[in-house]
Amino acid sequence: MKYRTAIRGLILIATSLVVAGPSYAQTAEEITSSIISGDPEFNFMGFGDLNYISRDGNNEDGFTIGQVVAHMSASLSDSFSIFAEFTGTGKDSQYSFEVERLIAKYEFSDMFKLSGGRYHTPIGYWNSAYHHGSWLHTSTSRPEMVKFGSKLVPIHFVGILMEGTLPRNRLGLSYSAGFGNGRHENVARSGDAGDINSDKAWMVQVQSAPDRYYGLKFGLGFYNDEITPDDRPEIKESTVSAYVAWTKESPEIIFEYLHSEHEELLNSSVSGDVDAWYAHFAYRLKGKRRDWKPYIRFEKTEVDDTDPLLFDQGLNFDASILGLRWDFNPYAALKAEYRNEEFDNNGRENNFRLQLSFVLAKL
Amino acid sequence: MGGRTISACNYPLCWQSYKMPILMKMNTHNLTIRNWQTTICLVGMLLAAANVVSAESSIAESGLAIVVHKDTEVENLSLSELRNIFRANQQFWPNRSRIVLLVRAAQSDERDFVLNKIYEMNEDEFRRYWIAKMFRAEVPRGPKVVFSTGMTLDLVVAIPNSISFMRADNVTDDVKVVRIDGKLPGEDGYPLK
């Protein structure tokens, strides 16, 4: 009964936000004038989520506000645009606000776009396809290997990025190559105020989205950095990631794998690997039940005992996840998720999550 | 920016139309029209249904024309290139001018046709696609939304580098029709009909 009341309340809040959102249509004169005059054009989007979490043997269960996300973009000219993303995240006793992305991009052509700023590191699929805004992804949360504050994958990077699509190719080949600050001495963070050492991080990712199989994407990426953690010697990090994604929803299949090697710079005999993957399957039902989308996900992360960077971070993880998403509104979804997880080989536990996620956007 | 345009196609969505199935269920043997609002909605729904049938047959007969501004240096596109343009995977013409994409608002037959044949998406997938695209900073904005064939013509004529679509029998000499896979609307094998 309590749950029902809570769900009704959450739905009411989300619906109110959506209904209260901006609703206007431009006339022909306004569209013509905005494009021909070359005046900057601003766009805004917002995401948010509200959660109820219940965990085995945990007394701190209850309602949480997830992330409140604000996206802003502006076309300052045909080729030059600015994109910014800010988040507010509920913590124990306060909210933390963060500039998640700030990108100034100049597009020379489809083949070559150059930008500078703070990015979601273009490595793998989930980190750049969804990242913030849980309404975008099917499940209630990100896979553990790319969770916020992950020490496994450098979630953000600050620097420059070149990207583009190769012209007229049936394989839909595209690339992105970045160069910038590596990880901070707290390895979960990017070097927002400069690199902590003289060796910059670099990354390359090649992706394919074949014309013939719309919805299919696969990619291969590399990331390389030298890390100076605050409590141990300098470490060389090399990561390779690969993914396959079929995103047409009936079915939706995402498989992502990551292999990371860490080696002490002054003593190459001290080294270790990390392997992590997840496999996500979902299926949007057809016909009258198309608002419903059951899903299942398996995740695994294994860290070598000899890994000089991550051996003592408790990152070993194993999970089976079963959930159901209900898109009761074009801009809002309710998700229920059961999770059976094991953190760092400490025994399995059961979790239950209920989430209301929504987007404030107008096309 | 602040002006609100109300689509003439809104009437099938008025709240009364949702009541109709309930009314019909309650009075299976004796359907009574309760008030003038319901009557208007019923007539509106019938007109809309008739309009849809007529428009769909028209697109099927004459085909959907892909139109661009007259100065755009493109004569022919493959269906695959067209899909990439409409999905904003290609955002520039070969002369490096940014493509201005104009898409009809929801509840138009041309849009339904384009979503089905070009985007290969339904309305929900289309919405999610553009929101995700903007979220990933792949496009600074979504497509420009137009509300009628007349508005489409006006904008394609006025905006350099624009591309849009309309029923082939609505095309005028003020815009350029692009060949798709080497064919024009009305020719055998034209893919958009």
Domain ranges of chain B: 8-60, 64-180
Give the chain A residue whose CA is nearest to the CA of B141.
A43
Report yes or no: A330 at the B interface, CB cutoff 8 Å.
Answer: yes
Instruction: Give contacts of A 6-65 with B, CB under 8 A.
Output: 23-28, 30-32, 34-36, 41, 43, 45
Residues of chain B in contact with residue A37, where contact means CB-CB under 8 angstroms, are none
Say if A96 falls within a structural domain.
no
List, in sequence order, the alpha helices (H) in A156-270: none
Residues of chain A in contact with residue B80, where contact means CB-CB under 8 angstroms, are 170, 211
Residues of chain A in contact with residue B90, where contact means CB-CB under 8 angstroms, are 110, 165
pLDDT at B34: 56
Nearest to A201 by CA among A273, A269, A127, A121: A121
Strand partners, B67: B164, B177
CA distance A88 to A294: 29
Strands A235-246 and A95-107: unpaired
Residue-wise pLDDT for B96-126, tens only, equals: 999 999 999 988 999 999 999 999 999 999 9
Report yes or no: B124 at the A interface, CB cutoff 8 Å.
Answer: yes
Say if A4 falls within a structural domain.
no
pLDDT at B158: 93
Supply the CATH number for residue A208's domain: 2.40.160.10
Report yes or no: B62 at the A interface, CB cutoff 8 Å.
Answer: no
Say if A266 falls within a structural domain.
yes
The answer, yes or no, to whether residue B10 has pLDDT greater than 50, is: no
Residue-wise pLDDT for B32-58, tens only, equals: 445 666 666 566 556 555 554 444 457
Cα distances (Å, whole numbers) of residue B62 to B109, B110, B184, B188: 13, 12, 10, 11
Say if A54 falls within a structural domain.
no
Residues 6+ apart with CB under 8 A from A117: A101, A102, A103, A104, A158
C-alpha of A290 from chain center: 25
In chain A, which stretches have pLDDT less than 50?
Answer: 1-3, 5-7, 9-10, 12-24
Mean pLDDT is lowest, of A98-107, A328-337, B9-18, B156-165, for B9-18
Say if A30 falls within a structural domain.
no
Q: Is domain B64-180 in CATH 3.40.190.10, yes or no? A: yes
Element at B120 (helix H, strand E): none
Report yes or no: B90 at the A interface, CB cutoff 8 Å.
Answer: yes
Candidates B2, B140, B158; nearest CB to A32: B158
List, in sequence order, the alpha helices (H) in chain B: 15-26, 36-62, 79-86, 109-114, 123-135, 149-158
Report yes or no: B5 at the A interface, CB cutoff 8 Å.
Answer: yes
pLDDT at A111: 95
Sign (positive/negative) of CA torsion B49, B55, B59, B64? negative
Report yes or no: B95 at the A interface, CB cutoff 8 Å.
Answer: no
Report yes or no: A107 at the B interface, CB cutoff 8 Å.
Answer: yes
CA distance A312 to A304: 10
Please give the tally of structural domains in chain A: 1
Query: Given an 8 Å threshold on Cβ–Cβ distance, is B135 in contact with A83?
Result: no
Q: pTM for the whole thing? A: 0.81
Query: Given an 8 Å threshold on Cβ–Cβ distance, is A109 in contact with B92?
Result: yes
Dig out the tokens for A170 from the structure: 């049936």
Report yes or no: A287 at the B interface, CB cutoff 8 Å.
Answer: no
Candidates A28, A73, A136; nearest CB to B151: A28
pLDDT at A245: 97
Q: How far is B36 from chain A (nearest CA, A)?
A: 27
pLDDT at B2: 37
**Structural domain span for residue A254:** 101-360
Amino acid identity of A120?
A: H
Say if A127 falls within a structural domain.
yes
Element at B153 (helix H, strand E): helix B149-158
Report yes or no: B191 at the A interface, CB cutoff 8 Å.
Answer: no
Answer whether A52's CB lies under 8 Å from A6's CB: yes
Give the chain B residue whose CA is nearest to the CA of A359.
B131
User: Which of B1, B116, B135 best tests the A interface by mutation, with the highest count of A CBs <10 A?
Assistant: B135
Report yes or no: B174 at the A interface, CB cutoff 8 Å.
Answer: no
